[in-house]
Amino acid sequence: MFFKRKKKSDAVEVKAFFQGTVLPLEQVNDETISSKLLGDGVAIEPEDGTLYAPVTGTVTSIFDTKHAIGFGLENGAEVLLHIGIDTVELEGRGFDLDVAVGDKVNAGDLMGKIDLAFVKSEGKEAVSPILLTNPDYKMEIVKTEGSVNIGEVLYKISK
């Protein structure tokens, strides 16, 4: 009797980076993001400003204003974490990141703290999308609504 060996999945998991509520991108109050111009994905409305790594990979970019972080994954895919809406205008105020470009991170690693009260007091939304930025990869969305805990799978990326 022969058994077929299950092919090992090459899918990379993108996990919850904030504790909060997951939203589909279409509900994000930013035309560029909600129209998926920058890429597909989901967003989280954070309950707490403690920020964790969404993926295992390398930090490839951090905007000077600290509101966006790019990651390169082992399978070649790239994701962009955009913290809040119009938070670029805060010029880094309220953002305390403990990572730098070139750092290797594991999903769930502590990456810093965002002062959500300050962000909101400046009239900005804290909704934070995580986007797959290279369209030649496949995305399997796992969660688009409801409460989410740190480390829960949001979507999977494969070639």
Q: Please tell me what DSSP assigns to residue 87.
A: G
Backbone angles phi, psi at 143, to 5 degrees: -140, 130
- How many Cα atoms sit within 13 Å of 140 on the Cβ side? 10
CA separation for the pair 128, 43 (Å, rounded):
5
Q: How confident is the model at residue 10 (pLDDT cuts 50, 70, 90)?
A: confident
Q: What is the pLDDT of residue 6?
A: 46
What the block records as the tokens of 34 is 């909600």
Q: What is the CATH number of domain 12-158?
A: 2.70.70.10
Annotated domain spans of the chain: 12-158
**What is the average pLDDT across 25-52?**
96
**What is the average pLDDT across 82-98?**
96
CA separation for the pair 54, 52 (Å, rounded):
6
pLDDT at position 40 over 80: yes
> Position of tokens 């082992």?
74
**What is the average pLDDT across 41-63?**
97
Alpha helices, DSSP H only, in 3-92?
Answer: 31-34
The structure's pTM equals: 0.92
Q: Which residues are catalytic?
A: 82
**What is the average pLDDT across 88-116?**
97
